[in-house]
């Protein structure tokens, strides 16, 4: 049996920032979906990997990228 690990990140906020975060989350091992929820959007990113260490590395890299974008968003 092949092992598989998965992590999900959810974010809710303004549409303009959501589309930028969606673009940043479009990377290998990640599937991202952006949906409208009234005046805001909801971003759901699912990361999958066969190795828990590789999953952690991917999640860490993604979270750093998203935090940098959010910090510099005006």
What does pTM read for this prediction? 0.90
**How far is Cα 62 from Cα 21, in angstroms, rounded to an integer?**
10
Q: What DSSP designation does 29 have? A: T
- Cα–Cα distance between 1 and 50 in angstroms, integer? 11
The span from the CA of 8 to the CA of 59, in Å, is: 9
Using alpha carbons, list the distances in angstroms from residue 21 to 5, 15, 29, 45.
23, 10, 16, 10
Question: What CATH number does residue 26 fall under?
Answer: 3.30.70.60
**pLDDT at residue 74 in the model:** 74
* Alpha-carbon span 55 to 4, nearest angstrom: 10
Domain count, the chain: 1
Q: Mean pLDDT by 10-residue block, N- to C-terminus, for the chain (74 residues)?
A: 92 96 96 94 98 97 97 88
pLDDT value of residue 10: 97
């Amino acid at each position: 049996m092949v092992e598989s690990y998965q992590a999900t990140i959810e974010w809710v906020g303004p549409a303009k920032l959501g589309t930028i975060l969606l673009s940043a989350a479009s990377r290998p091992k990640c599937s991202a979906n952006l949906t409208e929820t009234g005046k805001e959007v909801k971003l759901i990113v699912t990361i999958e990997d066969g190795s828990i260490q590789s999953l952690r590395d991917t999640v860490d890299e993604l979270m750093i990228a998203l935090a940098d974008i959010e910090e510099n968003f005006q």
